[in-house]
Chain A
Amino acid sequence: MDRSALDELLERARRREPDALGRLVDLYAARVYGLLVRLTGDRDAAEDLLQETFLRVCRMIGEYQHDGRFESWLMRIAANLARDRARQRRRRGVTGSLNDAGPRGGEGESAAGPSPRPDEALAAAEAGARLEAALAQLSDPEREILVLRHYADLPFREIADLLGVPLGTALARAHRALGRLRELMRDEQA
């Protein structure tokens, strides 16, 4: 969707036109869901949080100041909800794992962007799967920061703000997480 079409759609959504808000779900549900699955490690939770994310968008869209970063704003809402859920679970003493968060029976999986050649697609899929497996072995805070940067595409300053830590802490955590991820991927290849 080009910039002016998105601007117009967001303007209509700010007026709470049901069709416009429904269209935002169509456009961004997959991206938000991908983030939520990776942050929660639980598809059922991701489905519930997906709905809660878009309901929050519906209620808070009037507060959004359009500066061309709608997707970041949306991802922040989703990430905040995932963090709230993780906090509640920690309080209740429940732990989760990303290991069972893969696609269910091939349902719902899709590749973004233009279709590559079959051998390239296979190599990319294998590399993606290795990365996914390595990510799943990281601690929650390590995975969270890498997913927010790499998948949600949030800048580190926004991530630090979202996590409520200084920028230096966020960068140091990301650095450590990357080092560990590299080790994990190397181990898996060996």
Chain B
Amino acid sequence: MEVGLHNLEREIERARAAWPTLRAIAPPTTIVARVRAAVVAEARRLRRRGRWLQAVRTFGGVAAAALLVVGLWGPRAGITPDADALSLVQDWGQALDASGTQLRDTLLGGWARGERPDAAAEVDELFRTLELSLERFEDL
């Protein structure tokens, strides 16, 4: 089947090769000018629309973020937060900060390069603080 098609195509191409060249038929210059003007105008319109869509996307993102904030905090505005829960959140935030600071100090202090003999104890303390912070968070 494939061979048959290939042979047929070759036969057609051989016959076609003997054809004279079809003459070019150029369009009137006024038509080319009209088409060119229409295409340039369309390109400008599409570019303007592209810029506008870009602006809509950017401002849409900002608007969505604003709506999200309103959605999260707006309905809760009238609710008084529980004092214990608030305190726990603050503790958890502090513990997380402390563990982050410890991690940074440990790494910057050369633990990563094996230059600190007490590095293992520091890392243990770091993970203990982190676990503690997570436990507190679970209690909320």
Say whether A and B bind each other.
yes
**A138 an interface residue at 8 Å Cβ cutoff?**
no
On whether the beta carbons of A47 and B27 are closer than 8 Å, the reply is yes
Q: Smallest CB–CB gap between A30 and chain B, Å?
A: 4
CA distance A79 to B12 in the complex (A): 21
Number of A-B residue pairs, CB cutoff 8 Å, is 127
CA distance A104 to B118 in the complex (A): 96
On whether the beta carbons of B46 and A59 are closer than 8 Å, the reply is yes
CA distance A16 to B42 in the complex (A): 9
Query: Across the interface, which residues of B come within 8 angstroms of A29, CB to CB?
Result: 26-27, 31-32, 35
Hey, what's the 0/1 contact readout for B38-50 against A, CB within 8 Å counting as 1?
1110111011001
Name A177's closest neighbour in chain B (CB-CB): B12
CA distance A132 to B23 in the complex (A): 9
Q: Smallest CB–CB gap between B10 and chain A, Å?
A: 10
A125 and B28 in contact, given A22-B40, A25-B39 (Cβ under 8 angstroms) = no
Query: Across the interface, which residues of A come within 8 angstroms of B35, CB to CB?
Result: 25, 29, 50-51, 54
Name B40's closest neighbour in chain A (CB-CB): A18
Name A62's closest neighbour in chain B (CB-CB): B46
What does DSSP make chain B's interface, helix, strand, loop or mixed? helix
Name A23's closest neighbour in chain B (CB-CB): B36
Tell me the residues in window 17-56 of chain A with beta carbons closer than 8 Å to chain B beta carbons. Answer: 17-19, 21-22, 24-26, 29-31, 33-34, 37-38, 46-47, 50-51, 54-55
Q: Smallest CB–CB gap between B55 and chain A, Å?
A: 17
Q: Smallest CB–CB gap between B20 and chain A, Å?
A: 3
CA distance A29 to B32 in the complex (A): 7
5 A-B pairs closest in CB distance:
A127-B20, A33-B27, A18-B43, A18-B40, A30-B26
**A128 an interface residue at 8 Å Cβ cutoff?**
yes
On whether the beta carbons of B50 and A168 are closer than 8 Å, the reply is no
**A156 an interface residue at 8 Å Cβ cutoff?**
yes
Query: Across the interface, which residues of B come within 8 angstroms of A38, CB to CB?
Result: 22, 25
Given contact pairs A21-B39, A30-B27, A132-B23, enumerate 13 new A-B contacts (beta carbons under 8 Å).
A22-B36, A26-B36, A29-B27, A30-B26, A34-B26, A46-B27, A51-B38, A51-B39, A55-B38, A109-B26, A128-B22, A128-B23, A174-B12
On whether the beta carbons of A25 and B24 are closer than 8 Å, the reply is no
**B19 an interface residue at 8 Å Cβ cutoff?**
yes
Hey, what's the 0/1 contact readout for A152-168 against B, CB within 8 Å counting as 1?
00001000000000011
Name B4's closest neighbour in chain A (CB-CB): A168
**B84 an interface residue at 8 Å Cβ cutoff?**
no
CA distance A150 to B106 in the complex (A): 76
Q: Smallest CB–CB gap between B58 and chain A, Å?
A: 20
Query: Across the interface, which residues of A come within 8 angstroms of B47, CB to CB?
Result: 16, 18
On whether the beta carbons of B32 and A150 are closer than 8 Å, the reply is no
A110 and B26 in contact, given A127-B20, A156-B9 (Cβ under 8 angstroms) = yes
Hey, what's the 0/1 contact readout for A112-155 against B, CB within 8 Å counting as 1?
10000000000011011111100000000000000001110000
